[in-house]
Structure 1
Amino acid sequence: MKLGFIVNPIAGMGGRVGLKGTDGPEVLEKAKSLGALPESPEKAKKALKELLPIKDRLEIYTYPGAMGEDEAIEVGFQPIVLQKDKEDFGPENTEEAAKKMIEKEVDLILFAGGDGTARNIYNAIGTAVPVVGIPAGVKIHSGVYANHPKAGGELALKYLQNEEMKIKEAEVMDIDEEAFRGGVVTAKLYGYMNIPLEPELMQATKSGGLGTEEAALDGIADRIIEEMEENPDTFFIIGSGTSTRPIMEKLDLPNTLLGIDIVKNKELIGSDVNEKEILDTIDGHKAKIVVTVIGGQGYIFGRGNQQISAEVIKKVGKENIFIVAPKNKILSLEGRPLLVDTGNDEVNSMFNGYMKVINTYYSETIEKVEGL
């Protein structure tokens, strides 16, 4: 069995520091200056560990250093490094790696990154071989990613061991990061790649809500503002998304649609804040978090709101989290649970069970939540 293994080691670094991605060298340098640390290598290792049961029967082809070699060796594999004299993390290297893996006739490519990484691999291989994405980026709109890193490894193992496993085409989506930082989402379909058909382990393509939600969102905003009035001197951390935007609009405050804002006594305390700014602001004070659900996928933490990190959640406490989502957005999940993927197993497991979701001013539902 032959596996191609690619890691984009800088994927996701812009999340906690509020940069909404790391596309481009200038943005990467800014992320580093703000204290961003690599997260993708650890997620890649978590996936690769699931393949240890077939270690003696598996050839892993990868690229030098942090692009896969280091992670594979640390897990316990002896990978075949395809380009030993080069260690660069640019998109052209990802594409080059994928092309070389096709030449080696790999059975599957397992890669860690975000939507930009998926685009690079699509550019190189199209539908030549199936792929499984390990979610590690800030932007995860594409349908080629597993629900979480461990699921990526589980799916790769299943596919490599089962020649009869069906495959299907899944969308490769990406957005304009520069516009994204300015509060505008311009998602574009770039093409399709083949993935193993295992819906329980793969996440859906991100989708918006269904139908007219204006009245529901208006009621949700009133409900949260009442909570603010009943909890003076409490910091409210307002998550990203259109479902939380009406809260800020009703307060007549500027809203970072795709970032995180902090409100206290109905006044704006912090706009488009990063993880460190949140932690510094709430240190020693009462705080609550307001987040919504990603339509079609179900994530409440770990996709697009990495600034609300595991450390932030631990400081605030699960009991001080409001989940808001119109009923149509919940229905779009078709019975699947809400998901939490903070990168911290302890915090993820805190959420296993059921939580209340505010659907309108008057109504709420109890939904199953799964920590990944």
Structure 2
Amino acid sequence: MHVGIAVNPVAGMGGRVGLKGTDGKVAEAVERGAEPRAPDRARRMLDRLAAVAPDTAVSVVADPMGESTVRDAGFNPVRVVDPFGGETPHSTATTAAHTAAAVRAFAGLNDDGAGDGDETGPTDSVDLVLFVGGDGTAADVATALEGTEVPMLGVPAGVKVYSSVFAVSPEDAAEVAASFSRTERREVMDIDEDAYREGEVHPELCGVAHVPVADDLQSSKQTASGTVESLAEGVAADVRERDGEGVTFVLGPGSTVGAIKDELDFEPSPIGVDIWRDGGLVVRDATEAEILDALGEENVIVVSPIGGQGFVFGRGNPQLSPAVIRRCDLRIVASRAKLDDVRALRVDTDDPDLDAELAGWVRVRVGKFETRMMKIV
């Protein structure tokens, strides 16, 4: 098997600092103290790939888009393109054109489109393009592969991850890459991040790509149907019962938890994390650092899984980092209709040990009083 690996080094950087994405916001993310996420996700995938398919031939693009990370994982890759003209820019200087140049080189298309890139290796097409990034990166990869039958597979590292071209986790991406035998065409979706930051979600179809067929691929995000009014009323009543006890409630993003925020009678951030304590809003649209600062001795996260995918953590809520999760009790809420749409719940926290700790059967609140048992896998 021959794979081409491209890492978008800025993917997901805007998440924990409250930017809801990184498109056009890299400088602001860095100013807020954001740390790169994608290289660690890439290394997790590579470590598993080295374990399950150590003889994999790997093509890479010059740093900071993955070459050193691949070598550090024990592979001896061939650099097929240097879209930076022999210079190594700071990771925040990479662009969609650099991704396109890398992917087209992987596919044996040597008109790299970057204008100043150097082709430095063989030009035979790879069997699979493995990219590390989010929906924006997926759209760039799909566009570069348009007109070819080269399949693509995403290692999720972005904030939103709406497309159905991603593996569930970095390790799953390696397993799929090592074992797939056929592909199918899947949709690549992206959203306008500026509208998303204002609470409006409008996914748009950016392309259709060949993707390996496997169980460990996520579905596209779906909008939950059915009413959540009674659920929100019940949870809000429970929250208010704790007023005056100093309990900090970390209320996650999304429409289901948004209904709870409405019941608590404050103006929520519909796609952000809000913090409530003792009858009042403490922080609206909190970053990871603001959440950690606000936590007390007793803390509760209230979060709803993503419809169609079942992710409790790791898609759309990176502010709820491992450091936050470890200091909180977990309360999962969802409409019955949303749970009917998923086989199991999932987590992808960037901390494999925490993912393992969270795995197992959990109680999910589905009504004013009713609950349902679901398994986190």
Q: Structure 1-normalised TM-score? A: 0.91
- Gaps of at least 5 residues in structure 1 are 160-164
Give the match's secondary structure for 1:172. strand
Structure 2 counterpart of 1:298: 310
Evaluate the alpha carbon distance shift between residue 307 and residue 187 of structure 1 in structure 2; reply closer, same or farther with a 3 A threshold. same
CA distance in 2, matches of 1:226, 1:209: 23
2:139 matches 1:139? no
Equivalent residue number for residue 111 of structure 2: none
Determine the C-alpha separation between the residues in 1 that align with 2:265 and 2:254: 17
SS class of match (1:173): strand
Following the alignment from structure 1 to structure 2, what is the Cα–Cα distance between the partners of residues 56 and 11?
27
**Corresponding residue of 1:203:** 218
**1:166 counterpart residue number:** 182
Displacement of 1:58: 3.1
- Identity within the alignment, %: 36
Q: What's the secondary structure of 2:102's corresponding residue? A: helix
The within-5 A match list for 1:19-30 is 19-24=19-24, 27-30=25-28
Residue of structure 2 in register with 1:71 after alignment: 69
- SS for the counterpart of 2:286 is coil
Letter in 1 for 2:176: L
Query: 1:184 maps to which residue?
Result: 200
Distance in structure 2 (CA, Å) of the matches to 1:293 and 1:2: 35
Write the mapping of 1:145-164 to structure 2, written as runs, cut at 5 A: 145-159=166-180
Question: How far 1:274 moved relative to its partner?
Answer: 0.4
2:69 aligned counterpart, secondary structure:
helix
Q: Which residue among 339, 356, 360 is the counterpart of 1:353?
A: 360
| Distance across 1 between alignment mates of 2:224 and 2:261 | 19
Q: What does 1:332-347 correspond to in 2, within 5 Å? A: 332-333=341-342, 336-347=343-354
Find the counterpart in structure 2 of residue 90 from structure 1: 95
**Residue in 2 aligned with 1:162?**
none
Deviation at 1:128, TM superposition (A): 2.5
Question: What are the superposed Cα offsets for residues 44-68 of structure 1, whole Å, 9 maximum, x if unpaired?
Answer: 1111223325767433111111311
The whole-number CA distance in structure 2 between the counterparts of 1:362 and 1:56 is 51
1:257-276 equivalent positions in 2, closer than 5 A: 257-276=270-289
* Structure 2: distance between partners of 1:182 and 1:53: 43
RMSD of aligned residue pairs (Cα, Å): 1.4
2:41 to 30, 40, 43: 43
Secondary structure at 1:82 match in 2: strand
Distance in 2 between residues matched to 1:19 and 1:342, nearest whole Å: 18
Deviation of the 1:168 alpha carbon: 0.6
The alpha-carbon deviation at position 148 of structure 1 amounts to 0.4
Aligned residue type for 1:253: F
Equivalent position of 1:175 in the other structure: 191
* Mapped contact 1:357–1:364 kept (Cα < 8 A): yes
**Rounded Cα–Cα distance in structure 2 between residues aligned with 1:51 and 1:269:** 44
Q: CA 1:14–1:144 in 2, change beyond 3 Å: closer, same or farther?
A: same
Structure 2 vs 1, CA of residues 286 and 54 (structure 1 numbering), >3 Å: closer, same or farther?
closer
Partner of 1:101: 106
Runs of 4+ in 1 over 6 A off after TM superposition: none
Q: Give yes or no for contact 1:41–1:66 (8 Å, CA) kept in 2.
A: no
CA change 1:137–1:204 in 2 (3 A) is same
Per-residue deviation, residues 110-135 of structure 1 (Å, max 9, x unmatched): 11000000000011112531111100
Report the secondary structure of 1:365's partner residue: strand
Q: Name the structure where helix makes up a greater proportion of residues.
A: 1
CA distance in 1, matches of 2:12, 2:233: 34
* Partner residue of 2:253 out of 235, 240, 248: 240
| Contact 2:53–2:178 under 8 Å retained in 1 | no
Amino acid at match of 2:219: A
Conservation of the 8 A alpha-carbon contact between 1:167 and 1:194? yes
Check the 8 A contact 2:81/2:101 in 1, yes or no: no
How far the C-alpha of 1:266 sits from its partner, in A, is 2.7
1:325 matches 2:334: yes
2:230 matched to 1:219?
Answer: yes
Q: Using the alignment, how far apart are the partners of 1:255 and 1:102 within structure 2?
A: 45
1:53 & 1:364 partners in 2: Cα distance?
40
Q: Which amino acid aligns with 1:17?
A: V
User: Quick one: which amino acid aligns to residue 184 of structure 1?
Assistant: E
Residue type at the aligned position of 2:18: G
For 2:106 and 2:210, the matched residues in 1 are separated by 16
One-letter code aligned to 1:205: S
1: CA distance, partners of 2:264 / 2:55: 60
- Asked whether the equivalents of residues 102 and 128 of structure 1 are also in contact (C-alpha less than 8 Å), the reply is no
